[in-house]
A and B are shown apart, each in its own frame.
Chain A
Amino acid sequence: MVTFAAPLWIGGAAALSLLVVALHLLARRRPRPLIYPTARFLPDQPASAPAAARRPSDLLLLLLRVAIILLIGAAFARPLRAPPRRTAHLVLIDRSRAAPRILDDSVRALVRQASLVIAFDTTGREVPEATDAGDIIRSSPRGSLSAALLAAVRRAPTLAAEGDSLALHVVSPFAVEEWDEATLAIRRLWSGRIDLHVVEPAAPAIRPDGGSSLRADDPLGATLGLIGRESQAGARVVRSVPIAADSNWATAGGALVYWPRVPVEAPWATLGRDTVGGVFSGGQVVVAPFTRVVRPPEGVVIARWADGTAAATERPLGTGCERDVAIPTDMAGDVMLRPGMLALVRALTAPCGGRRDFVRVADALLDSLRGPSMLVAASQLARPVTGKVPANGWYLAAAFLLLAGEPLVRRGRR
């Protein structure tokens, strides 16, 4: 069913069409010629005169003109396809590391009937149509319910034409690590109900034992000893260039931390020797006169010097990762034993992707997430600025096509 965003144009075009019809019937007509030798005895009058036609003539020309006007009016009236009387379904499906690899049939059925499916981890991405729920590849990043809800709020207006109301479904284990302080605030942007489909979280990853073996006189060994073995579980700290066994271990999911005893001995780009006043990572700051001599290889920066340059980087390696740390450890004094340094080392030896917490959030939070019982009406959604434009372009094209043919028809009628 087609409706119009500016129906006044249709009314105007209809009125103009009536005027054209009236003018067509009352138009100045040039009568048919008649050879008449004594024409000079007729009074000198204009060869055409306004006259009301008893029967409309040139019907094709009249229809052509009326069609041109109506098409132009329809084009400016911005025709829209009215939304059908049904509920559109928007499904947010969790693909983060907390989500299970296998989804049950109810989730698959939900995905099949959905108008739009958005798979989310740290961001939400639209899933192409006709994609089965089982084909949505799980990713390793941590999930974010806030990002998922934002994606739903942004994409919902595009579904306004799909139905008169919109249902939002979230399929997720709702793990603690996916929840942040903005989640409820973002949820309030969605004025209707959210159907939560709680699935079992993924099984915790088997974290291989790092087996870091440092010499007794190694200052880093003392630091690791202070932060405890549990905190560094899943990480292997090596002080020399990693060997194949280390890489294989990291590929299996471990966090391989290459932290050379003397950074300058690492096969990295060297810098001019200088001193920086501190290093920070993950909110932990250590202030000390560090001597910077090398630059870690390219990767995701996980620690920075005080001037913002990279002090440690991380690169994915299989299902695990490799970290290269260019922070010297042969510091004078108790720098390596300070609480800040302990926290820094704890962050640098954390599992790849950060620490995991797949425990479901509290039921009270889930109730807050569900919200009211009403669905969102499509009329409450803002019209999409972009997207499929109504057919006014076609109307205009048809109007111009007829307009081009009008002189030909008019000439042929003479």
Chain B
Amino acid sequence: MPLHPSFGPLLDALVGVTWPARRSSGTGAAGSHPSRLRGLTAEFTEYRPYRQGDDARRLDWKLLARTDRAFLRITDDHAIRPTLLLLDASASLAFPETTHAKWIQACRLAVGLAAVARSDGDPVGLIIPGPDGVLRLAPRAHRLAIADIARTLNDTSPAGSASLVAGMEGLRPGSRLVIISDFLAEEAALLARARELIVTGVEVFALHVIAEEERVPPDVTRLAVDPESPLRRPLHDEVRDHYMTTYATWRSALAESWRRAGAEYTEVRAEEDAAPVIRRLVRGTAVVEKRW
């Protein structure tokens, strides 16, 4: 099945882009990301005096023989970072009604990030919670993984409401979770779960997709209807400023809370080009922690 026509240029624009991990990985499988484990690879880094409890196999026996001092041979280890894309496919993503720009942007971000992650050799999976259950594509590093993700997205239409929190189960430490949503539902629960995952060593990225019509409401008088609840409120000139202020305040608070929790929060406009967004996103994630 061919990829979605709009995904081709996006993938071309992301060739060569890498997505370094923000911190060392704890997983043991060999990969491109620095690992907190100091292994047996041949890539020497430095010596460290032996301390009680160190693995005797890592002693530099030749140095011990020459100098009669016990040093450990320190080498860098690299590991993979399984990347899971948690995509919000609720009805609120099908906005605006005529273009579904939010959903299309979410799909582009998902495919683009998946392609970037896979180019680093990381297995990539997809999680789409829906009203009838959670659709999961297990992380794979196979070359067809991106095509599978694209095909799944093409077959999915945003509708109803589902719990993103339910899709955040079973994540292993050292993996990477990218939440692509408009964060209009279960904010607190989502943030709390993300905080738990971050503590366990999961890298969490929060991509907040918003439409221009949401940021600046249309200059018409309408009865605004929440697609996921019975909420109905009038939208007219007198409330437009109040809305924009309230919505901007909420977005600022949302970004602050996610960043404070340790997640990488990025607000993405539905109308902007996805490739620069992805480049900007992955460029800002470098390993910053001390190795030991």
Residues of chain A having any CB pair with chain B under 8 Å? 30-49
Contacts and interface: CB of A to CB of B under 8 A. Distances in A.
B98 to A, nearest CB: 10
Contact of A34 (B91, B223, B242, B243): B223
A34 B236 contact: no
A193 B200 CA distance: 121
A185 B227 CA distance: 91
Contacts of B246: 41
B233 A32 contact: no
Contacts of B182: 37
A125 B280 CA distance: 111
B224 interface: yes
14 contacts: A31-B223, A32-B223, A34-B218, A34-B223, A36-B226, A37-B184, A37-B226, A38-B214, A38-B243, A39-B231, A40-B229, A41-B246, A43-B243, A47-B234
Contacts of A45: 233-234, 239
B232 A38 contact: no
Interface of B: 91-92, 94-95, 97, 182, 184, 214, 217-218, 220-229, 231-236, 239, 242-243, 246-247, 250
B223 A35 contact: no
Contact of A36 (B221, B235, B242, B250): B235
B247 to A, nearest CB: 5
B222 A31 contact: yes
B225 A34 contact: yes
B222 A37 contact: no
A32 B222 contact: yes
Contact of B95 (A35, A43, A44, A48): A35
A35 B97 contact: yes
A37 B221 contact: no
A30 B223 CA distance: 7
A47 B223 contact: yes
B44 to A, nearest CB: 55
A33 B233 contact: no
Nearest to A46: B234
B174 to A, nearest CB: 34
Considering the complex of A and B, which 9 residue pairs feature the smallest CB-CB distances, nearest first? A37-B92, A34-B222, A36-B224, A39-B224, A42-B233, A39-B226, A41-B246, A41-B247, A33-B223
Given A42-B239, A43-B242, A45-B239, A37 B233 contact: no
B92 A49 contact: no
Counting chain B CB atoms within 10 Å of each CB, the highest count among A30, A34, A42 belongs to A42
Q: Which of B182, B233, B239, B243 has the most CB of A within 10 A?
A: B233
Nearest to B213: A36
Contacts of A49: 234, 236
Contact of B225 (A36, A41, A46, A48): A36
A44 B243 CA distance: 11
A41 B224 CA distance: 10
A122 B94 CA distance: 96
Nearest to A30: B223
Given A35-B95, A37-B92, 6 more contacts: A31-B234, A34-B235, A36-B226, A39-B233, A40-B229, A47-B223
Nearest to A38: B214
A143 B164 CA distance: 109
B214 A42 contact: no
Which of B224, B226, B232, B242 has its CB near the most chain A CB atoms (within 10 A)? B224
Contact of B227 (A32, A37, A42): A37
Contacts of B227: 35, 37
B225 A33 contact: yes
Nearest to A29: B221
Contacts of A34: 218, 220, 222-225, 235
Contacts of B223: 30-34, 47
A142 B248 CA distance: 109
A260 B214 CA distance: 123
A31 B224 CA distance: 9
Residue with the highest number of chain B CB atoms closer than 10 Å, among A33, A38, A48: A38
Interface centre among B214, B220, B223, B250 (most CB of A within 10 A): B223
B243 A41 contact: yes
A33 B232 CA distance: 9
B225 A42 contact: no
A39 B218 CA distance: 13
A390 B247 CA distance: 67
A31 to B, nearest CB: 5
Contacts of B232: 33, 39, 47
B102 to A, nearest CB: 8
A23 to B, nearest CB: 20
Nearest to B95: A37
A334 to B, nearest CB: 117
Contacts of A43: 233, 239, 242-243
A31 B239 CA distance: 14
B224 A42 contact: yes
A43 B247 CA distance: 11
Given A41-B246, A43-B239, A35 B221 contact: no
A36 B233 CA distance: 10
Contacts of B214: 36-38
A45 B243 CA distance: 13
B219 to A, nearest CB: 12
A35 B221 CA distance: 13
Contact of A35 (B225, B233, B247, B250): B225
Contact of B236 (A31, A39, A41): A31
A46 B221 CA distance: 13
Contacts of B94: 35
A413 to B, nearest CB: 16
A48 B97 CA distance: 23
Contacts of B91: 37
B249 to A, nearest CB: 9
Contacts of B220: 34
A339 B246 CA distance: 126
Contacts of B221: 31
Contacts of A47: 223, 232-234
B120 to A, nearest CB: 34
Contacts of A41: 243, 246-247, 250
A330 to B, nearest CB: 114
Contact of A44 (B228, B233, B250): B233
